[in-house]
Each structure stands twice: as structure tokens, then as C-alpha cells.
């Protein structure tokens, strides 16, 4: 009886090739093409999120407060790990490579509305004595030259004189290179270093905008209007490429 059973098993027909599961030479099932694409997309999103959160993030200059060092329409990359990137949903920061220094151009959260991002130049750090007299910046009693591409007008302004004051611990003092057209620490006080996002280091694109250019409208409340706006603005600028690009600024290091 045992021999008959074994014989029957040996004579049983092997499964048809069409019924076999797809396997590699090692017997591991192959992934479907749909699954491979899905995993690749998920991985790309995760990698992009990690890079943006902890390493490098892109920003665009919307105002003239840093002219002529940075122009409206400059697109730049910001080094976020140099000062220690903020860990999302916590009060923690990663270890910093170094602390902010006078002369650094820094992107930070606007103290009066952290949802907005600002960019200014650090002109003094904690413990330094600062004063503005007749448009001239003094740090620890020494006059500081205007940045090479900075500018300042001759017309009298409210903040031509400021201070004296000492930058408190855990703060830096920020000013725009366009001194007469900048909302900076002279208005809202020294910047808490916990609001710093990172240091701007390179321009990857610079686009010349003109008065009358259409502005992008994007709101979840009006999806149709938003889509039409995206198409309109995209086509408008596409037909003006490449004449609007400031080619001499592309790839320029920020100083």
C-alpha cells in the first residue's frame, strides 16, 4: 500500500507553467511593476522631505530689502544643517556645525508671524553692543561698512538712529542690505536663534519680474481659479523664457 501511494505521487502531473508564482532564481517572489513604481515614489517623497527638513531648502526673494546683494526673483538654496536643523514637532535642534556670525545671510521665521520666512544679514551676535547713528551702524563702538552690494539713501528715515543696546543671549541682530527699505531688527528687535532656518549660500536661478506680471493665485477654496491661474502664469513666463533669466547670477555664491 505504501509503495502504491508513493508511485501515484511520483506520477502526479506537475503544475502548469501558467499556474506558477513568479519567482527569482533564489525563490523570492518578484515585485509587480505597479508595486515597484509605488515604492520608488514613496521613497522619493521621504528622501525629499528629509533633505528639505534637515539639509537644504529652496526659497525665493519676494522683496527688495536685500538689494543689491539679492534681487527680487532670485531663487536660492539654504543650508539648514550648519546651525543645527530643527526637528519637526519638537523643540529640539540637531547639533550645529557653528553658530551664526556677523556677515551671514540668514533665512528665518518672522518673529511676529512664524508662518512667514524672512531673509536678512546678521550684523551682530549675542553680547555685542549695537547702535545706529545717522545711518551708520556701530558694533562694539566701531563703525561697520555697508556690504559691498548694499545701499542706503540720503533721505532722512525714522530708523536712521537706533539704540544703543546689547544683543541678549540666544539672539542675533538682523538688518537688510537695503537699509532704508527693510523691516528688520530695528523694528521687531533682536532675533531669537530658535527661529533661524539656515544660511543662504547659492543662487540656482534668477528671474526678472516686471510690474504687471500676473501673480499666482492658489487657494483650496477656489480650485478651478487656482488651476486656471497656474496655467496662465506658467504659459506667460514660458513664452518669455529665456529673456527673463539673469544668466549672470545663476550659480552665484551668496556673500
Q: How far is 120 from 125, CA to CA, in rounded Å?
A: 14
Residues marked as catalytic = 65, 120
Beta-sheet strands, E only, within the chain:
56-60, 74-79, 105-110, 113-125, 129-133, 136-139, 142-144, 162-166, 171-175, 191-192, 196-206
Q: How far is 176 from 67, CA to CA, in rounded Å?
A: 8
Which ranges constitute the DSSP H helices of 55-145?
A: none
Helix (H, G, I), strand (E, B) or coil at 101: coil
107 near 119, Cβ under 8 Å? yes
Residue linked to cell 528715515: 157
* Residue 46 φ/ψ, nearest 5 degrees: -65, -45
Strand 105-110, strand 196-206: pairing: antiparallel
Amino acid at each position: 500500500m505504501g509503495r502504491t501511494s508513493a508511485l501515484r505521487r511520483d506520477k502526479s502531473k506537475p503544475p502548469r507553467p501558467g499556474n506558477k508564482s513568479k519567482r527569482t532564481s533564489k525563490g523570492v517572489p518578484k515585485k509587480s511593476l505597479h508595486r515597484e513604481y509605488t515604492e520608488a515614489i514613496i521613497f522619493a517623497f521621504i528622501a525629499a522631505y528629509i533633505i528639505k527638513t534637515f539639509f537644504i531648502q529652496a526659497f525665493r526673494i519676494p522683496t527688495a530689502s536685500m538689494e543689491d546683494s539679492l534681487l527680487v526673483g532670485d531663487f536660492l538654496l539654504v543650508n539648514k544643517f550648519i546651525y543645527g536643523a530643527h526637528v519637526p514637532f519638537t523643540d529640539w535642534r540637531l547639533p550645529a556645525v557653528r553658530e551664526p556670525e556677523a556677515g551671514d545671510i540668514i533665512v528665518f521665521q518672522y518673529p511676529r508671524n512664524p508662518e512667514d520666512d524672512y531673509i536678512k544679514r546678521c550684523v551682530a551676535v549675542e553680547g555685542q553692543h549695537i547702535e545706529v547713528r545717522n545711518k551708520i551702524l556701530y558694533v562694539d563702538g566701531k563703525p561697520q561698512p555697508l556690504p559691498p552690494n548694499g545701499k542706503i539713501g540720503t533721505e532722512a528715515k525714522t530708523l536712521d538712529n537706533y539704540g544703543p543696546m546689547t544683543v541678549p543671549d540666544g539672539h542675533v541682530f538682523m538688518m537688510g542690505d537695503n537699509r532704508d527699505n527693510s523691516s528688520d531688527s530695528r523694528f521687531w528687535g533682536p532675533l531669537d536663534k530658535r527661529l533661524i532656518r539656515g544660511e543662504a549660500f547659492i543662487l540656482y536661478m534668477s528671474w526678472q519680474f516686471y510690474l504687471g506680471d500676473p501673480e499666482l493665485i492658489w487657494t483650496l477654496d477656489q480650485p478651478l481659479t487656482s488651476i486656471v491661474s497656474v496655467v496662465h502664469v506658467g504659459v506667460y513666463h514660458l513664452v518669455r523664457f529665456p529673456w527673463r533669466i539673469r544668466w549672470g547670477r545663476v550659480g552665484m555664491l551668496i556673500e
